[in-house]
């Protein structure tokens, strides 16, 4: 398998030397070519006993971190982490902080870690540079387009009399959003292997015992290069950095995106989950590019953000648990389960503009299961085997279309409630009425005129021609009809007519047309 990975990150410094892309300064600081995690070296410095000590990096050219969703990624290791102050220390400074300073000395400094959250092992930290959370100190209004100095501070004010040797290491520093991958026959594990290569160490993906942990955007495809993505039984966890005391991410950074011409994705058995309880770990699943080819089967998505699919996608046998709204578009969306949607507006599933490809769905414990919106199918909309639970105070349908409507219920669909804060939605049991027309040699007759009517009332229940298989069919949500008239006409054959009662069950009848000698 071969993955070509492009970092959606800008290099600030690889820290291989004290002058890599700028100037590193720290107490007794120097380049270290032995203790490192990326490249050829790191920058080492000493945190002084019973004191607070800092290290700075001043780039050769000031850094522009003002882009959308920009996060700062850096690697660090600390040999005296046990002596640090805690993450939320009040009497002294926090154990480990990061400060960004611009060219006019405005700055913002965040709590990053402490002895209660970090053991000092090599760690890729991440910080949302726009965040106002966990700010320890600030001055003025920080200009993110003009970052002049990056400062790391370690507080071991209560360490006591310990021996001081090199005890703090900084390695590669980057800023951006994540990774992009292309290539042939690759999966997430392959992308993680490229990330974790010592020449790269992007810090976005980490493979721990076969589970891939992610702290950034993951994009498959670039719209130009071939990307054959084949993922089978992989587990992808988006880290909860906002609550584990090891950094923080913005709400919106996490994405799993398939994008652009040349992307052919076959995904089976994927488990993708936002860890923890905060909404910042929700990840957008974005597959709404009509240029991609996607087969998604038997996969589970837990605590995703919005989920988007497109015409041509095939989504089958999947589970969506505690996700925000799913927009299936007109993809094939079948045999899926949607549960635990808690948002009190919209609905767990946005009903598509054409319901031909959506069927066999199970809805469990959703505040609103289906949103019927202004763009939803308004031509005989039908639920095809949509199964809903009956939970008090929760609703099968939320009608936001601004007009009252009726949804047909076919193949045992059991919707029976709508959110009263929206427009009225009625439910009518739908049955399928089908005629299969063949000749005396059992060959399908194409283009035969087929009618079903109720005492010649207009419009007819069915008024069409048979398809390439000799079949004509329609969904019916009306009242029962006694002696409805079923007729078939085709030049060269004798006309067919039969009276059939329409009740609450599907009706499918085979019809054999006999050649009419007078018309041949």
**CATH architecture for residues 432-519:** Sandwich (2.60)
308 with 288: CB under 8 angstroms? yes
* Cβ proximity of 252 and 258 under 8 Å: no
Q: What is the CATH number of domain 12-173?
A: 2.60.120.260
The two tokens of residue 332 are 């094939």
For 83, the 3-state DSSP assignment is helix
Q: Is the pLDDT of residue 504 over 80?
A: no
Encode 284-338 in three state secondary structure: EEECCCCCCEEEEECCEEECEEEEECCCCCEEECCEEECCCCEECCCCEEEEEEE
pLDDT digits (tens, 9 = 90+) for 423-438: 999 998 888 899 999 9
d(CA 328, CA 336): 11
Give the bridge partners for 274, in sequence order: 238
pLDDT at 1: 59
Lookup result for tokens 């092992």: 121
pTM: 0.87
Percent above pLDDT 90 for the chain: 85
Give the integer Cα–Cα distance in Å for 450 and 186.
Answer: 51
pLDDT above 90: residue 94 = yes
Q: Is-contact 249 217, C-beta < 8 A?
A: no
Q: Would you say how long the chain is, in residues?
A: 520
**Whole-number pLDDT of residue 62:** 98
Task: Judge whether residue 387 has pLDDT over 90.
Answer: yes
Return the bridge partners of 293, or none: 264
Q: Indicate the pLDDT class of residue 220, thresholds 50, 70 and 90.
A: very high
* pLDDT range class, residue 191, cuts 50, 70, 90: very high
Distance (Å, whole) CA 132 – CA 150: 17
pLDDT tens for each residue of 141-184: 999 999 999 999 999 999 988 888 999 999 999 999 999 999 99
Contact by Cβ (8 Å): 173, 74: yes
Which one is predicted more confidently, 308 or 277?
308
Is 465 strand, coil or helix?
strand
Confidence at 503, pLDDT banded by 50, 70, 90: confident
For the chain, the domains span 12-173, 176-376, 432-519
- For residue 259 the two structure tokens come to 């994008």
Query: Quick one: pLDDT at residue 363?
Result: 98
């Amino acid at each position: 398998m071969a993955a070509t990975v492009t970092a959606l990150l800008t290099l600030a410094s690889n820290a291989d030397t004290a002058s890599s892309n700028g100037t590193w300064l720290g107490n007794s600081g120097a380049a270290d070519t032995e203790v490192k995690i990326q490249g050829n070296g790191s920058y080492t410095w000493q945190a002084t006993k019973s004191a607070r000590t800092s290290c700075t990096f001043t780039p050769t050219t000031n850094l522009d971190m003002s882009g959308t969703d920009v996060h700062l990624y850096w690697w660090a290791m600390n040999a005296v982490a046990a002596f640090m102050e805690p993450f939320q220390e009040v009497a002294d400074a926090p154990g480990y902080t990061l400060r960004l300073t611009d060219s006019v000395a405005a700055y913002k400094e965040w709590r990053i870690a402490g002895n209660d959250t970090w053991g000092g092992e090599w760690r890729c930290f991440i910080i949302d540079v726009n965040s106002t959370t966990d700010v320890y100190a600030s001055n003025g209004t920080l200009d993110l387009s003009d970052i002049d100095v990056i400062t790391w501070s370690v507080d071991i004010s209560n360490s006591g009399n310990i021996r001081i040797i090199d005890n703090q290491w900084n390695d590669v520093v980057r800023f951006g959003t994540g990774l992009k991958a292309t290539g042939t026959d690759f999966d997430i594990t392959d992308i993680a292997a490229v990330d974790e290569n010592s020449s790269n160490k992007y810090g976005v993906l980490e493979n721990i015992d076969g589970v891939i942990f992610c702290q950034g955007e993951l994009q498959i495809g670039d719209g130009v290069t071939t990307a054959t993505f084949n993922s089978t039984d992989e587990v992808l966890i988006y880290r909860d950095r906002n609550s584990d005391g090891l950094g923080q991410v913005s709400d919106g950074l996490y994405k799993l995106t398939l994008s652009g011409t040349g992307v052919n994705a076959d995904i089976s058995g994927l488990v993708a989950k936002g860890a923890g309880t905060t909404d910042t770990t929700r990840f957008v699943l974005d597959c709404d590019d009509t240029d991609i080819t996607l087969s998604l089967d038997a996969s589970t998505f837990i605590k995703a953000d919005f989920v988007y699919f497109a015409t041509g996608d095939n989504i089958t046998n999947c589970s969506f648990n505690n996700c925000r709204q799913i927009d299936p578009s007109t993809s094939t969306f079948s045999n899926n389960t949607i549960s635990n949607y808690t948002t009190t507006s919209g609905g767990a599933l946005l009903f598509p503009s054409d319901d031909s490809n959506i069927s066999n769905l199970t809805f469990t414990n959703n505040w609103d299961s289906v949103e019927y919106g202004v763009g939803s199918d308004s031509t005989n909309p039908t639920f095809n085997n949509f199964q809903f639970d009956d939970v008090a105070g929760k609703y099968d349908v939320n009608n936001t279309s601004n007009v009252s409507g009726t949804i047909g219920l076919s193949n045992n669909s059991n919707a029976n409630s709508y959110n009263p804060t929206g427009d009225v939605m009625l439910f009518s049991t739908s049955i399928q009425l089908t005629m299969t027309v063949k000749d005396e040699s059992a060959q399908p007759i194409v283009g035969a005129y087929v009618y079903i009517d109720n005492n010649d009332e207009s419009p007819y229940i069915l008024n069409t021609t048979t398809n390439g298989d000799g079949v004509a069919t329609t969904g019916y949500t009306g009242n029962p009809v006694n002696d409805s008239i079923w007729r078939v006409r085709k030049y060269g054959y004798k006309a067919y007519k039969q009276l059939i009662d329409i009740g609450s069950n599907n009706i499918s009848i085979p019809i054999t047309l006999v050649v009419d000698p007078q018309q041949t």
